[in-house]
Amino acid sequence: MAHILIVDDSPQDVETIKTILEGQGHKISVAQDGESGIQRAQELHPDAVVMDIVMPGTDGFKATRKITKGADTKGIPVILLSSKNLESDRAWGLMSGGTEYLVKPVKPDELLDTVSKVLG
């Protein structure tokens, strides 16, 4: 299956997402903030990234822009997953380079369907 990088500062959210994705056979790597998420994406070249938005330091919008515009990471799809549920947040996330935008708490089927979609 695919290698997916989860970038989220909430250990509880990471564990939930990880459990859902590992249950489908995906390999998971984790980063706790945007800056380390960018570095891990550059090092690991995952098949996709699941990115939180509200994190200390580099937020998910900035990290997504850096990943999707980086020379060696621009082909990696980024699924933004956030508690921010306004249409403006969704629009900003997609303008920042996000491939998809999901709202927490995410339903397992919704996450799996979205991952399948971005992986093609």
**Residue 9: count of CB within 10 angstroms of its CB:** 17
Residues 6 or more apart whose CB falls under 8 angstroms from that of 114 comprise 79, 100, 102
To 5 degrees, how large is the angle CA 76–CA 67–CA 22? Answer: 50
What stretches in the chain show pLDDT beneath 50?
Answer: none
The pLDDT value recorded for residue 35 is 97
The pLDDT value recorded for residue 13 is 97
Cβ–Cβ < 8 Å for 105, 17: no
The pLDDT value recorded for residue 102 is 97
Domains of the chain: 3-114 (3.40.50.2300)
The pLDDT value recorded for residue 98 is 97
